[in-house]
Amino acid sequence: MCVDKECQTTRPENSALQGFQAPSTIKKETAVVVVVTMNGPDGAALVSDSITTDLVKFEPNGPKCGPTCYGAGVRVTSEGKLENVATA
């Protein structure tokens, strides 16, 4: 998965939803491009799609008690396309 050209390899915990935290260089609510490529056991691409999504601010320890993080959620549909998912 790539967020604004910063990429990482992860294994999703389930197929329903993949949340992500933006790179630490992003310090504001902004739109970013998310690219997801999922490969099967043989290395063939099963999903390869991109979407623009808006990052939302969250403070897991409460206001003024860092860290301040920015993230969003995307889901892969049964058709292999990305869609935005509301985050709380």
pLDDT attached to residue 21: 67
Q: Which residues of the chain fall below pLDDT 50?
A: 17
pLDDT attached to residue 14: 57
pLDDT, tens digit (0-9, with 9 covering 90-100), for 66-84 = 888 888 888 888 898 999 9
pLDDT attached to residue 30: 87
pLDDT attached to residue 64: 85
Query: Considering its fold, how many domains does the chain have in total?
Result: 1
**Contact 23/30 with Cβ under 8 angstroms?**
no
Q: What is the pTM of this model?
A: 0.72
Q: Which domain holds residue 53?
A: 2-85
**Contact 46/77 with Cβ under 8 angstroms?**
no
Strands of 1-88, DSSP E: 2-3, 6-7, 18-21, 31-39, 45-54, 56-58, 69-76, 82-85
